[in-house]
Amino acid sequence: MRIIDSHCHLDRVDLSAFGGDMESLLAHAKTLSVEQFLCVCIDLEHFSDVLDLAKNHPQIYASVGVHPCELDGKDPSVEELLTLADDDKIIAIGETGLDYFHVEKDSADWQRERFRRHIRASNQSGKPMIIHTRNAKADTIQIMQQEKARAGVMHCFSEDWDTAQAALDLGFYISFSGIITFKSANDLREVAQKVPLDRLLVETDSPYLTPVPYRGKPNSPAYTYYVASMLAEIRNTTIDEIAKATTQNFNDLFFHER
């Protein structure tokens, strides 16, 4: 069995439990069958850290983009994104999207504009997007439709079925995180039950959002195992089937393999 953590921030995880050593974090993840990682960029100030991780580890891939909540750092043009994305180890554009939880909707023109630039960079480079959306589902889908977003994933999905359906209709994948293990997440588990098997991905978003049974402790990519395990339970199948499908889906999306 092989599981891929489709969204983590390895440059930000706490390595103190691993003697400060990324290799031992990766080895620990492997004991739970988590063997590949997409390390997602949040701001350009730390892009070189993210890229270095991918360059130094064959099992780590990276993305380039600026998170919708980043206020102070560099805000790249489409051309700048394309230049930074021009590397075999950069397999996605993002994370990008809209977040009206942290930024007031009415004052978020810059956020919507930034999102559009990321979509254009994705369409021009052919590299799929990683979309973050919070309290902004209608605008997120509308901008994806207007800009003809072609491929990508709705990461850390926590919206309703209509939003999932709209993203699926655009050809997007839906990635679930540790949120589906939370006691209060019954509605989300219903959504997770309905997403077609060939459009599912799993992630930790570590160091954030630690799943049960480790909630409250630092998150680690290894715990993708518990996300896959919960998906298996919800969908009345085996973790092997979830691992197989989500690994295939990751390769289909990011490496166009079938």
Nearer to Zn ion, 96 or 125 (CB): 96
| Shortest Å, Cβ 208 to Zn ion | 7
Nearer to Zn ion, 125 or 175 (CB): 175
| Shortest Å, Cβ 155 to Zn ion | 6
Nearer to Zn ion, 139 or 205 (CB): 205
**List of long-range contacts for 196-199, beta carbons under 8 Å, 24+ apart:** 196/168, 197/235, 197/241, 197/245, 198/245, 198/248, 198/249, 198/252, 199/168, 199/172, 199/173, 199/174, 199/249
| Shortest Å, Cβ 209 to Zn ion | 9
Instruction: Report the amino acid identity of residue 80.
Output: E
Question: Which residues contact Zn ion by CB under 5 A?
Answer: 132, 205
**List of long-range contacts for 248-257, beta carbons under 8 Å, 24+ apart:** 248/198, 249/173, 249/198, 249/199, 249/200, 249/201, 250/4, 250/6, 250/36, 250/38, 250/201, 252/198, 253/128, 253/151, 253/152, 253/153, 253/173, 253/201, 254/38, 254/61, 254/91, 254/92, 254/128, 255/91
Nearer to Zn ion, 120 or 132 (CB): 132
| Shortest Å, Cβ 95 to Zn ion | 5
For residue 43, how far is the Cα from the chain centroid? 15
Whose CA is closest to 8, among 122, 92, 133, 99? Answer: 92
Place of tokens 């559009």: 116
Which single residue brings its beta carbon nearest to Zn ion?
132
In Å, what is the CA distance from 6 to each residue of 108, 113, 176?
A: 28, 26, 10
Nearer to Zn ion, 25 or 98 (CB): 98
Q: What angle do CA 172, 50, 151 make, to 5 degrees?
A: 15
Nearer to Zn ion, 201 or 239 (CB): 201
| Shortest Å, Cβ 158 to Zn ion | 10
Nearer to Zn ion, 76 or 97 (CB): 97
| Shortest Å, Cβ 132 to Zn ion | 3
| Shortest Å, Cβ 156 to Zn ion | 5
